[in-house]
Amino acid sequence: MLCRSVNREESSKSSSVKIPKPGAGQVRIKVQACGVCHSDVLTKEGQWPGIQFPRVPGHEVAGIIDELGASVSAWKVGERVGVGWHGGQDGTCPSCRRGDFRNCRNLKIPGIGYDGGYGQYMVAPIEALAPIPETLSDTEAAPLLCAGITTFNALRHSGALPGELVAVQGVGGLGHLGIQFANKFGYKVAAIGRGAESGTLAKNLGASAYINSEATNAAQALQELGGAQVILATAPSSKAMSALIDGLQPNGKLIVIGVAFDPIEVTPVQLISGSRSIQGWAAGTAADSEDTLRFAELTGVRPMIETYPLEKAAEAYARMLSGNATFRGVLTM
Ligand SMILES: [Zn+2]
Ligand SMILES: [Zn+2]
């Protein structure tokens, strides 16, 4: 079996490992496609606390169930399924006991807690599985299982109402899906990007306004549009996020989904005046993934992708990291 087993020293070698066997409550998936997500740096750079190497990255997985573990009755061999960031919950922590599986304190994440989708096979617990609708291809479904669900779920829980101004910062892997979902939810969408080039793309995706943050003060531009009820911050730049806070209208909310490690800077006065808030959001459960896939099927939201064979995983990863990929890199097996 060929897989991409990544650690800090051996980042570009492929390696063969035994085809895994599913345990009780698990299935084995023959991977068809796996999206390359910015959060894969947590695996590659060992930034996730306590991560054990070697570890196969990948948490945007589309594939076919090819073996059932013991006591699995609700799924069948041959069924097409997706696995996203939410790779399983413990069912017993304080969050799970309250039904808040998304925030399980011992969340299992594919590619971090166990081997993910940069390989031909992977094993996942059944609570991580979402059925893939027939009209979505594997390569279309894969990015919807992390980039898609994260933007979809953050927006549908944002409190913004149809017709209100929602800004999407970043027109990349997350942002290009966020713009489409925001448009389909009936918001007035302002996309914020660096440079003039992304403007046409953003408008084609459903933005009614495009703000070039290199040429204008983006917060001021949002205020000229009436102020944003929600700003969905997707680009992993704390500096860029900090610069947008003054673009919120009263009671507006900055929702942070782009992962960065340096602090967002904000003064208490910026938040107190107008009762503005900042919230983080992480993906969602497999049921949320299922909602995302069905909504995409219903409304035509699709990721823009460029595919790479598994052997070129390192190339796809480097392209994602460069910040220049307008399209979502997807590995195919
Ligand atoms: Zn991700
Ligand atoms: Zn839990």
- Average pLDDT on 174-203 reads 96
Where is pLDDT greater, at 327 or 191?
Answer: 191
Ligand having the closest approach to the CA of 127: 2
Percentage of the chain exceeding pLDDT 90: 90
Question: From the CA of 70, how far away is ligand 2's center (Å)?
Answer: 22
Note the pLDDT tens digit of each residue in 70-127: 999 999 999 999 999 999 999 999 999 999 999 999 999 999 999 999 999 999 999 9
Question: From the CA of 154, how far away is ligand 2's center (Å)?
Answer: 20
Ligand having the closest approach to the CA of 236: 1
Whole-number Cα distances in Å, 174 to 28, 35, 50, 76, 213: 28, 12, 27, 31, 18
Question: From the CA of 161, how far away is ligand 1's center (Å)?
Answer: 26
Which pair of structure tokens corresponds to residue 291?
């909602």
pLDDT of residue 9: 43
- Average pLDDT on 195-223 reads 97
Whether 259 and 237 have beta carbons less than 8 Å apart is answered as: no
Question: From the CA of 85, how far away is ligand 1's center (Å)?
Answer: 6
Question: From the CA of 271, how far away is ligand 2's center (Å)?
Answer: 32
Whether 155 and 185 have beta carbons less than 8 Å apart is answered as: yes
Question: From the CA of 115, how far away is ligand 1's center (Å)?
Answer: 14
Q: For residue 8, name the pLDDT band (cuts at 50, 70, 90).
A: very low
Ligand having the closest approach to the CA of 234: 1
pLDDT of residue 1: 44
Ligand having the closest approach to the CA of 258: 1
How many angstroms separate the CA atoms of 166 and 190, rounded? 6
Question: From the CA of 254, how far away is ligand 2's center (Å)?
Answer: 27
Question: From the CA of 19, how far away is ligand 1's center (Å)?
Answer: 24
Note the pLDDT tens digit of each residue in 42-77: 999 999 999 999 999 999 999 999 999 999 999 999
Question: From the CA of 210, how far away is ligand 2's center (Å)?
Answer: 40
Percentage of the chain exceeding pLDDT 70: 95
Ligand having the closest approach to the CA of 148: 1
Question: From the CA of 15, how far away is ligand 2's center (Å)?
Answer: 33
Note the pLDDT tens digit of each residue in 268-284: 999 999 999 999 999 99
Question: From the CA of 98, how far away is ligand 2's center (Å)?
Answer: 9
How many angstroms separate the CA atoms of 175 and 177, rounded? 5
Whether 56 and 122 have beta carbons less than 8 Å apart is answered as: yes
Note the pLDDT tens digit of each residue in 218-249: 999 999 999 999 999 999 999 999 999 999 99
Q: Is the dihedral of CA 87, 323, 138, 333 positive or negative?
A: negative
Q: What is the SS3 string spanning the chain?
A: CEECCECCCCCCCCEECCCCCCCCCEEEEEEEEEECCHHHHHHHCCCCCCCCCCECCCCCEEEEEEEECCCCCCCCCCCEEEECCCCCCCCCCHHHHCCCHHHCCCCCCECCCECCCCECEEEEEHHHEEECCCCCCHHHHHHHHHHHHHHHHHHHCCCCCCCCEEEEECCCCCHHHHHHHHHHCCCEEEEEECCCCHHHHHHHHCCCEEEECCCCCHHHHHHHCCCEEEEEECCCCHHHHHCCHHHEEEEEEEEECCCCCCCCCCCHHHHHCCCCEEEECCCCCHHHHHHHHHHHHHHCCCCCEEEEEHHHHHHHHHHHHHCCCCCEEEEEC
Which pair of structure tokens corresponds to residue 258?
């782009």
Question: From the CA of 237, how far away is ligand 1's center (Å)?
Answer: 16
Question: From the CA of 138, how far away is ligand 1's center (Å)?
Answer: 16
Ligand having the closest approach to the CA of 285: 2
- Average pLDDT on 189-196 reads 96
Ligand having the closest approach to the CA of 144: 1
Instruction: Tell me which residue of 83, 19, 113, 10 sits closest to 286, measured CA to CA.
Output: 83
Where is pLDDT greater, at 17 or 318?
Answer: 318
Instruction: Tell me which residue of 34, 5, 65 sits closest to 333, measured CA to CA.
Output: 34
Question: From the CA of 310, how far away is ligand 1's center (Å)?
Answer: 18
Question: From the CA of 139, how far away is ligand 1's center (Å)?
Answer: 15
Question: From the CA of 95, how far away is ligand 2's center (Å)?
Answer: 6
- Average pLDDT on 17-30 reads 95
User: Model-level pTM?
Assistant: 0.93
How many angstroms separate the CA atoms of 44 and 36, rounded? 12
Which pair of structure tokens corresponds to residue 50?
């306590």
Ligand having the closest approach to the CA of 94: 2
Ligand having the closest approach to the CA of 60: 1
* Average pLDDT, rounded, for the chain: 94
Angle at 311 (CA atoms; ends 46, 49), nearest 5 degrees = 10
pLDDT of residue 94: 98
